[in-house]
Amino acid sequence: SRYYIKKGNEIRLLWNSADAKLKGTQPPDEVPQFAQSELKPTYHFNEDKGLMVLGCDHYARSCKLRHPETGQLFTCRLCCEDVRQTNAYSDEMLPVLDREAVTELMCMQCFSLQPAGSKCVNRDCESKGAPFARYFCSICNLYDDGEKKQIYHCPYCNVCRKGKGLGIDFHHCMRCNACISIEEYDKHKCIPQRLQASCPICKESMFESTEPLRGMKCGHVMHLSCYNQYAARSPFRRITCPFCKEVFDNMRG
């Protein structure tokens, strides 16, 4: 394994475990130490290829993010959230991983810890200069190697969204502060900051949610899966918006 640091605009090699082993030297204090479980590469099953590829259940990628506060390694922010939820950790025990604050990552092919970037800086890495993922956003530190995924960064939402891009299949509504599909844009009902609220069913955030969202006729939004569950419980095929209490047919809402 190796540890690269950034000095100004230059990336330098601070530690090489192979060289240190030959010389019998110990790593300096500034070289981070990790548990074996953190260093172990993670995989997920790629249905199109029919095999396991580097990544996790949330994203295909060949790197792990280093938590900006705890220094731990996680394949993605959602993996960190899974650990938080599974173990009921408080923010003090394990803070939410803010991927925009991430400055370092580890390549899962050569185990080099390095400044966050699009590809491994280790010239001896078996990746041979290939990017960590097909899509990389330097603002969000989002890496996604999904072959069929289309992702773009919205400068107004300041997050990455699923789609081809603004002016292609989405427009950004400044009043809603949300990206609206071109097909729905002209007829959508504006509600200021409509994605800033939590989902009324599961109470989870919607603004950076990776789950599909469902807009209703009144303009309010909830997770699609939550909408389907909520609508299934509604009598006489009628549904009441949990936000504004407007009633509409649950098949057309």
227 Cβ contact list (under 8 Å, min separation 6): 201, 214, 216
Q: Report the mean per-residue pLDDT for the chain.
A: 91
Q: Which two tokens stand for residue 4?
A: 């690269």
Are 248 and 238 in contact, with CB atoms under 8 Å apart?
A: yes
State whether residue 78 is helix, strand or coil.
helix
User: Looking at residues 50-56, what average pLDDT do you find?
Assistant: 94
Q: How confident is the model at residue 253 (pLDDT cuts 50, 70, 90)?
A: very low
Q: Give the predicted TM-score (pTM) of the model.
A: 0.84
pLDDT: is 168 or 227 the higher one?
A: 168
Lowest mean pLDDT among 12-26, 160-174, 177-191, 235-249: 235-249
pLDDT on residue 240: 87
- Measured in degrees and rounded to the nearest 5, phi and psi for residue 231 equal -65, -35
How many Cβ atoms are within 10 Å of 36's Cβ, its own excluded? Answer: 6
Per-residue pLDDT at 115 exceeds 90: yes
Of the pLDDT bands very low, low, confident and very high (cuts 50, 70, 90), residue 250 is low
Residues with Cβ within 8 Å of 228's Cβ and at least 6 positions away in sequence, in order, are: 214
The residue with greater pLDDT, 50 or 126, is 126
- Count of Cβ atoms closer than 10 Å to residue 232 Cβ: 9
Tell me whether residue 237 is exposed, middle or buried, using C-beta atoms within 10 angstroms of its C-beta: 0 to 12, 13 to 18, 19 or more: exposed
3-state secondary structure of 227: helix
Q: What's residue 75's pLDDT? A: 98
Share of the chain above pLDDT 90, in %: 64
pLDDT (average), residues 69-87: 96
Residues 80-104: what's their mean pLDDT?
95
Q: How many Å apart are CA 103 and CA 34, to the nearest integer?
A: 17
Helix (H/G/I), strand (E/B), else coil: 98? coil
Q: Which of 47, 37, 84, 39 is nearest to 63 (CA)?
A: 39
Average pLDDT of the segment spanning 55-76: 97
pLDDT over 70 for what percent of the chain?
A: 97
Q: Across residues 19-48, what is the average pLDDT? A: 91
Q: Is 162 helix (H, G, I), strand (E, B) or coil?
A: strand
Please name the amino acid found at residue 233.
R
Does the pLDDT of residue 112 top 80, yes or no? Answer: yes
pLDDT at 252: 46
